[in-house]
Amino acid sequence: MAFLADALSRVKPSATIAVAQKARDLRASGRDVISLGAGEPDFDTPDNIKEAAIDAIRRGETKYPPVAGILELRKAISAKFKRENQLDYALDEIIVGTGGKQILFNALMATLNPGDEVVIPTPYWVSYPEMTAIFGGQPVFAQTTLENNFKLDAETLEDAITDRTKWLIFNSPSNPSGAAYDESEMKALTEVLKRHPNVWILSDDIYEHLCYGDFRFVSPAQIEPSLKDRTLTMNGVSKAYAMTGWRIGYAGGPRQLIKAMDMIQSQQTSGATTIAQWAAVEALNGPQDFVRKNKAVFEARRDLVVSMLNQAKGIDCPTPQGAFYVYPSCAGLIGKTAPSGKRMKTDEDFVTELLEAEGVAVVHGGAFGLGPNFRISYATSEEQLEESCRRIQRFCAACR
Look at residue 29 and tell me if it is in a domain.
yes
d(C-alpha 293, C-alpha 291), whole Å: 6
pLDDT for the residue numbered 191: 98
Residue 321 lies in a domain: yes
Q: What is the pLDDT of residues 211-252, one digit of tens each?
A: 999 999 999 999 999 999 999 999 999 999 999 999 999 999
Query: What confidence tens digit (pLDDT) does each residue in 295-329 have?
Result: 999 999 999 999 999 999 999 999 999 999 999 99
Mean of the per-residue pLDDT values of the chain: 96
Final residue before a domain boundary, out of 285, 305, 336: 285
pLDDT of 13 higher than 90: no
Task: Find the domain containing 71 and state its range.
Answer: 63-285
- pTM of the predicted model as reported, rounded to 2 decimal places: 0.95
Same domain, 313 and 199: no
* Tally of domains within the chain: 2
Do the domain assignments include residue 58? no
Residues 250 and 330 in one domain: no
What pLDDT score was predicted for residue 37? 85
Read off the pLDDT of each residue in 89-103 and give the average, rounded to a whole number: 98
* Nearest CA-CA partner of 167 in 116, 218, 205, 123: 116
Same domain? For 267 and 301 the reply is no
Same domain, 135 and 200: yes
Torsion angle (degrees, nearest 10) of CA 42, 45, 47, 51: -160
Among 267, 285, 303, the domain boundary falls at 285
What's 368's domain CATH number?
3.90.1150.10
| Domain assignment present for 1 | no
Sheet holding 363-364, edge to edge: 325-326, 374-377, 363-364
> Identity (one letter) of the amino acid at 65?
P
> What is the pLDDT, as a whole number, of residue 46?
98
Q: What angle do CA 71, 222, 198 make, to 5 degrees?
A: 95
Instruction: Tell me whether the omega of the peptide bond preceding residue 328 falls within 30 degrees of 0, making it cis.
Output: no
In tens, the pLDDT along 250-291 reads 999 999 999 999 999 999 999 999 999 999 999 999 999 999
Same domain for 221 and 136?
yes
* CA distance linking residue 191 with residue 38, whole number of Å: 35
Mean pLDDT, residues 154-166 taken together: 98
Q: Is the pLDDT of residue 27 over 90?
A: no
**Is the domain of 239 the same as that of 199?**
yes
Out of 264, 285, 306, a domain closes at: 285
Backbone phi and psi for residue 252, each to the nearest 5 degrees, phi listed first? -120, 140
Tell me, yes or no, whether 53 lies in a domain. no
In this structure, the answer to whether residues 77 and 131 fall within a common structural domain is yes
pLDDT on residue 12: 80
For residue 117, the domain's CATH number is: 3.40.640.10
Statement to judge: residues 145 and 166 lie in one domain: yes
Confidence grade of residue 17 (pLDDT, cut at 50, 70, 90): confident
**Both 39 and 113 in a single domain?**
no
Residue 49 lies in a domain: no
- Tell whether 314 and 378 lie within a shared domain: yes
- Position 23 pLDDT exceeds 90: no
Determine the average pLDDT of the residues in 69-78. 98
What's the average model confidence in pLDDT over 362-370? Answer: 95
My answer on whether 99 and 12 are in the same domain is: no
Residue 197 forms part of a structural domain: yes
Please state, in angstroms and rounded to a whole number, the distance separating the CA atoms of residues 142 and 121.
Answer: 4
Q: Residue 89: left (phi > 0), alpha (psi -120 to 50), or beta?
A: beta
Co-location of 233 and 97 in the same domain: yes
pLDDT tens-digit map of 184-202? 999 999 999 999 999 999 9
If phi > 0 it is left, if psi is from -120 to 50 it is alpha, else beta; for residue 247 that is left
Sign of the C-alpha dihedral computed for residues 218, 157, 320 and 204 taken in this order: positive
- Does the pLDDT at position 16 exceed 80? no
On whether residue 216 sits in a domain, the answer given is yes
The pLDDT value given to residue 38: 81
